[in-house]
Structure 1
Amino acid sequence: MELDLRKLRYFVAVAEELHFGRAADKLHIAQPVLSRQIRSLEGDLKVQLFARDKRGTELTAAGEQLLSDARPLLSAADATTRRAVRAAHAQNALTVGFMPGLIVTAAVRLFSRRHPDVQVEVIRTNWDEQTQMICDGRIDVGYVRLPCEAHGLELRDLLSEPRVVILPTTHPLAGKSSVSISDLAGERLLQNPAAIPEWRSTANPSGPYEDTGPTLVLRSVEEKLENVAAGRGVVILPLSTATYYTRSDITHIEISDIGPNRVCLAWDSNRQDQLIDEFVEIALAT
């Protein structure tokens, strides 16, 4: 039996919303049509994907497994489509992603000198999408910051740098030469705590992240720094990112007892591409 990708996309929408009406709105189709497609997919697979009752819609064990497998499968399909379309319009192209604070100019410039016929584009990424953009084909090779989801990727270590806490200049810790992660216990973290594994175990050992206050997860560095300056919490960033976004109302202090931020080059492990191989070689040498 072959999986119908269209039905699979419909399933993912329902699985993420756990509500057929909202999923139908998201997909811009009628709810009865969506319900028929889900029943058809369940018939194809001969399993029940959702448990429906008066309390709502929940995934079954089979549904949970399919959702886990469906996301990378759909990403791979999207990546294949993007690369095919791009190949039809420009045979020689390379897209490089980079995280805030990282400068890719030297490697891109040297690569472009060696390959003047190759169109090189650079795209800034955020922590929560840096590897997804590689997996779905929007980026060919990325400068990523660990920790990250590395499934299906090839990684090469590039550099490491200290991590610092960003505080308003009026904070009691401002002016110190360094702090420990435990000094930050009780502070509100204004970023996804998965990016700072030490936070849960050290900075706030008595309870989960949410115990430090209402969760406020911000995507861009600029949003985070605005909220730090307003006294709403703190963020932990690599040193290069902190120095790149220098401003007078915030300060950064090195954290003495957590490991450095590792930066890697990453690309799809299933791809065989000479341009990627050569860019990686250049980036590692510059």
Structure 2
Amino acid sequence: MTEVDTRELRYFIAVAEELHFGRAADRLGIAQPPLSRAIRRLEHRVGARLFDRTGRGVRLTAAGEVLLAEGRAALDAVSAAVRRARRAGRPRRSLTLVMKPGGDAGLLPAILAAYAARPGAAAVDLVFSQSERAAMLRDGRADVGLLHHPQNDLTGLDTEPLRTERRVAALAEGHPLAARATLSLADLAGEPMAQWPEAAERGNGPRVEEAGQMWQLVVLGRAVALVTESAAERPYRGVVYRPVTDAAPATLVLAWPAESRSRDVAEFTAAARAALAPALTGQT
């Protein structure tokens, strides 16, 4: 079978998402006839029909559904490879670490110091994101990141556990539940739980994009939030914290792309492991 090129995949994905050749052609900035010919060539290369064409439009076949999922992943992998190669070719060697503000449980200074002490350590550039950390690792915008398990989707990533913490509920001072010493998940059922875009958990409360927004909503009684114990160590005026006895703990992990062959990533991971070894050994 002849190999499929990335241009054909982009054309196919546009049609698959629009389910209309005319709209897909407009989106791609090309005429419809060459787009139709490209899709027919692609179907010939694949050896299967990708679309059912009807008078009302088009719909994906079973083969098309598979190619859409795999094709997206393939294009993402190509884009990630180009980004990583571009960074590797720069005169200044650097490692990009993505995290959310305050999301290191106080561990990052020791990790950075341990890595900097290694011969040939690259410069570490910090970038911050509340909602795209895993995506940035997958698409090559970042090399390593700090995420939480099982709260974040770690598909396609390798991880090194750093610290496991219990979680507490953040409530407005005047919230009825604030009078209790401890809470359960059943106590929080029906409460407007703040939702992060990246989180695998889904609440029924407002969607939040950054921490300041979440804290303000909690203070106003518009949301409650489950946060780690280390987050609760940073008081916020008008917010109280109560342990949630049956909430799944959160494990802070160092994450990187599973296919990474970067020596700098391997060295950074080893430095993190060495720096935190005493604390990790003492964890229960």
* Equivalent-residue separation in structure 2 for 1:14 and 1:234 (angstroms): 42
> Is 2:190 the counterpart of 1:222?
no
Task: Give the C-alpha shift of residue 43 in structure 1.
Answer: 4.0
Trace 1:44-123 onto structure 2 (pairs within 5 A): 44-51=45-52, 58-90=59-91, 92-100=93-101, 101-102=103-104, 103=106, 104-115=108-119, 118-123=122-127
* Equivalent-residue separation in structure 1 for 2:62 and 2:171 (angstroms): 44
> Is 2:246 the counterpart of 1:257?
yes
Match of 1:186 among 186, 190, 197: 190
Trace 1:144-155 onto structure 2 (pairs within 5 A): 144-147=147-150, 148-155=152-159
**8 Å Cα contact 2:148-2:252 kept in structure 1:** yes
Cα displacement string for residues 161-188 of structure 1 (whole angstroms, at most 9, x for unaligned residues): 1112222222111243221000011112
The equivalent of 1:170 in structure 2 is 174
TM-score when normalising by structure 2? 0.79
1:258 partner amino acid: A
The equivalent of 1:232 in structure 2 is 222
* Equivalent-residue separation in structure 2 for 1:231 and 1:134 (angstroms): 34
1:221 partner amino acid: A
Task: Give the C-alpha shift of residue 14 in structure 1.
Answer: 4.4
The equivalent of 1:142 in structure 2 is 145
| Percent of aligned pairs with the same amino acid | 37
Cα displacement string for residues 69-91 of structure 1 (whole angstroms, at most 9, x for unaligned residues): 12322221112101221122136
Cα displacement string for residues 40-85 of structure 1 (whole angstroms, at most 9, x for unaligned residues): 4334324333445577654332222122212322221112101221
**8 Å Cα contact 1:163-1:238 kept in structure 2:** yes
Larger gyration radius, structure 1 or structure 2: 2
**8 Å Cα contact 1:17-1:23 kept in structure 2:** yes
* Equivalent-residue separation in structure 1 for 2:189 and 2:164 (angstroms): 25
1:224 partner amino acid: M
TM-score when normalising by structure 1? 0.78
> Is 2:255 the counterpart of 1:266?
yes
SS in 2 for 1:231: coil
Task: Give the C-alpha shift of residue 131 in structure 1.
Answer: 2.3
1:272 partner amino acid: R
Unaligned runs of 5+ in 2: 276-284
The equivalent of 1:276 in structure 2 is 265
The equivalent of 2:29 in structure 1 is 29
1:81 partner amino acid: V
Assess, with a 3 A threshold, how the Cα gap between structure 1 residues 184 and 20 changes in structure 2: closer, same or farther. farther
* Equivalent-residue separation in structure 2 for 1:187 and 1:99 (angstroms): 25
The equivalent of 2:237 in structure 1 is 248
**8 Å Cα contact 1:20-1:31 kept in structure 2:** no
The equivalent of 1:285 in structure 2 is 274
The equivalent of 2:134 in structure 1 is 131
**8 Å Cα contact 2:153-2:198 kept in structure 1:** no
**Cα RMSD for the two superposed structures:** 3.1
Assess, with a 3 A threshold, how the Cα gap between structure 1 residues 193 and 123 changes in structure 2: closer, same or farther. closer
2:242 partner amino acid: I
1:178 partner amino acid: T
* Equivalent-residue separation in structure 1 for 2:77 and 2:67 (angstroms): 15
